[in-house]
């Protein structure tokens, strides 16, 4: 038996960026530069740097302590690699929340030094993803960001080589899109639990449109994960959080089944305010059809979990 239900539809979200929301998401901290920069040459910067200490500016005045920990966990132990070919790579700390990996689009972009600023991004986006100020004080080196300062140490050097300029992939920018929520399909099906396998256990997992059939299982899973997470981040209307009068950390756990037709069914959301839980279900209902998982050459139902965490400032 299949049952379709309709939710109370929210107004289409016309926001174009998380920067317009009163949501304390880490990506909003990285766009502006700070003062007191010191000069550093390209060859001095080239190589890998590790963050050994994180200092959050005015931490005592920030009521959302979870947000502070979120930032500290993300950057403590993080590594910044300014490669000699102008490619920038970053890995976040071992304690970083999984959500940080989807929020940031810094990895495998480019870097330049301009007007005493280390600028991260690509030529097409004006290197505006992140600005870093290099500072030296008391024999210590710091990378200063708008709301935090990272004490760093250099792990290795790199040598100049032919620059590899990377094209900007606009689809990678986690902006909120205008959405017609009336197209959301909320489907409930009777499915035997014994006929459902965990997403992580699927040898031939569900495959999103941008993923390749000839990849290995883990790469397929990573690709489909990325597709679903970005879909959710682009279409979830975080403005609704302001209607709940909630502040601080909000965590919603969304679960659903990707059925044998490649559609999300039996969608549930818990943990957040009811309005946001319902909206999370609605957003998942907008997922396009993907290639279903298979086992022994037969399509199978796969269970999927999607945790979604964000912070709402006062």
Q: Which tens digit of pLDDT belongs to each residue from 22-65?
A: 334 333 344 343 445 678 999 999 999 999 999 987 667 666 66
Question: How many Å apart are CA 4 and CA 80, to the nearest integer?
Answer: 48
Question: How many Å apart are CA 38 and CA 26, to the nearest integer?
Answer: 25
- Domain count for the chain, please give it: 2
pLDDT in tens, 125-137: 678 778 899 999 9
In a domain, 60, yes or no: yes
In a domain, 92, yes or no: yes
Single residue among 99, 125, 157 that ends a domain in this structure: 157
pTM: 0.54
- Claim to verify: residue 77 and residue 114 sit in the same structural domain: yes
Q: How high is the pLDDT of residue 207?
A: 96
Is residue 1 pLDDT above 50, yes or no?
A: no
- Claim to verify: residue 136 and residue 189 sit in the same structural domain: no
Mean pLDDT of 193-198: 93
Contacts of 109 (CB under 8 A, 6+ apart): 87, 88, 120, 121, 122, 129, 166
- Claim to verify: residue 26 and residue 90 sit in the same structural domain: yes
Side-chain-side CA neighbours of 2 within 13 Å: the count stands at 8
Single residue among 157, 185, 204 that ends a domain in this structure: 157
- Claim to verify: residue 11 and residue 112 sit in the same structural domain: no
- Band of the pLDDT at 246, cuts 50, 70, 90? confident
Ranking 114-118, 160-164, 299-303 by mean pLDDT, the lowest is 114-118
Side-chain-side CA neighbours of 307 within 13 Å: the count stands at 8
Mean pLDDT of 74-94: 94
Contacts of 84 (CB under 8 A, 6+ apart): 46, 158, 159, 160, 161
Contacts of 50 (CB under 8 A, 6+ apart): 77, 78, 79, 80, 152, 153, 155
In a domain, 283, yes or no: yes
Q: How high is the pLDDT of residue 99?
A: 61
- Claim to verify: residue 35 and residue 109 sit in the same structural domain: yes
b/e per residue 214-237 (b: at least 16 CB within 10 A): eeeeeebbebbbbbbbbbbbbbbb
Nearest to 229 by CA among 283, 156, 162: 283
Question: How many Å apart are CA 269 and CA 281, to the nearest integer?
Answer: 6
- Claim to verify: residue 119 and residue 221 sit in the same structural domain: no
Contacts of 284 (CB under 8 A, 6+ apart): 232, 254, 256, 264, 267, 269, 306
Classify residue 40 by its DSSP letter. Answer: -
Domain CATH number, residue 95: 2.40.128
Is residue 181 pLDDT above 80, yes or no?
A: yes
Q: How high is the pLDDT of residue 26?
A: 39
- Claim to verify: residue 215 and residue 139 sit in the same structural domain: no
Question: How many Å apart are CA 149 and CA 50, to the nearest integer?
Answer: 13
Question: How many Å apart are CA 27 and CA 71, to the nearest integer?
Answer: 10
- Claim to verify: residue 188 and residue 147 sit in the same structural domain: no
Q: Which ranges of 175-216 would DSSP assign to H, the alpha helix?
A: none
In a domain, 165, yes or no: no
- Claim to verify: residue 11 and residue 56 sit in the same structural domain: no
Domain that holds residue 201: 2-17+176-312
In a domain, 169, yes or no: no
Single residue among 107, 127, 157 that ends a domain in this structure: 157
Q: How high is the pLDDT of residue 136?
A: 92
Classify residue 21 by its DSSP letter. Answer: S
- Band of the pLDDT at 243, cuts 50, 70, 90? confident
- Claim to verify: residue 103 and residue 7 sit in the same structural domain: no
- Claim to verify: residue 29 and residue 148 sit in the same structural domain: yes
In a domain, 166, yes or no: no
- Band of the pLDDT at 257, cuts 50, 70, 90? very high
- Claim to verify: residue 10 and residue 32 sit in the same structural domain: no
Instruction: Pick the most confident of 72-76, 222-226, 288-292.
Output: 288-292
In a domain, 167, yes or no: no
In a domain, 97, yes or no: yes
Mean pLDDT of 213-222: 91
């Amino acid at each position: 038996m299949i049952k379709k239900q309709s939710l109370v539809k929210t107004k289409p979200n016309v926001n174009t960026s998380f920067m317009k929301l009163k949501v304390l998401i880490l990506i909003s901290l990285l766009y502006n530069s700070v003062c007191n920069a010191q000069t550093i040459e390209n060859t001095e910067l080239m190589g890998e740097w590790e963050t050994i200490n994180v200092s959050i500016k005015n931490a005592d005045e920030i009521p959302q302590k979870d947000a502070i920990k979120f930032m500290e966990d993300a950057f403590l132990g993080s590594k910044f690699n300014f490669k000699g070919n102008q490619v920038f790579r970053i890995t976040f700390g071992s304690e970083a929340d999984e959500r940080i990996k989807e929020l940031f689009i810094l990895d495998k972009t480019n870097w330049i030094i301009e007007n005493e600023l280390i600028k991260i991004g690509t030529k097409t986006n004006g290197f505006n993803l992140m600005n870093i100020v290099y500072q030296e004080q008391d024999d210590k080196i710091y990378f200063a960001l708008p709301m935090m300062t990272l004490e760093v140490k250099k792990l290795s050097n790199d040598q100049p080589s032919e620059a590899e300029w990377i094209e900007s992939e606009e689809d990678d920018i986690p902006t909120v899109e205008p959405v017609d929520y009336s197209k959301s399909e909320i489907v409930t099906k009777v499915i035997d639990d014994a006929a459902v396998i965990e997403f992580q256990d699927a040898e031939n997992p569900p495959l999103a449109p941008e993923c390749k059939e000839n990849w290995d299982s883990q790469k397929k899973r990573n690709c489909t994960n990325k597709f679903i997470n970005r879909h959710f981040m682009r279409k979830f209307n975080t403005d609704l959080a302001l209607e709940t009068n909630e502040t601080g950390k909000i965590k919603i756990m969304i679960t659903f089944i990707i059925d044998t037709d490649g559609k999300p069914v039996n969608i549930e959301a818990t943990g957040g305010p009811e309005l946001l839980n319902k909206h999370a279900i609605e957003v998942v209902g907008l997922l396009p059809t993907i290639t279903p998982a298979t086992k022994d050459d037969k399509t199978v139902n796969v269970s999927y979990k999607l945790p979604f965490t964000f912070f709402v400032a006062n």
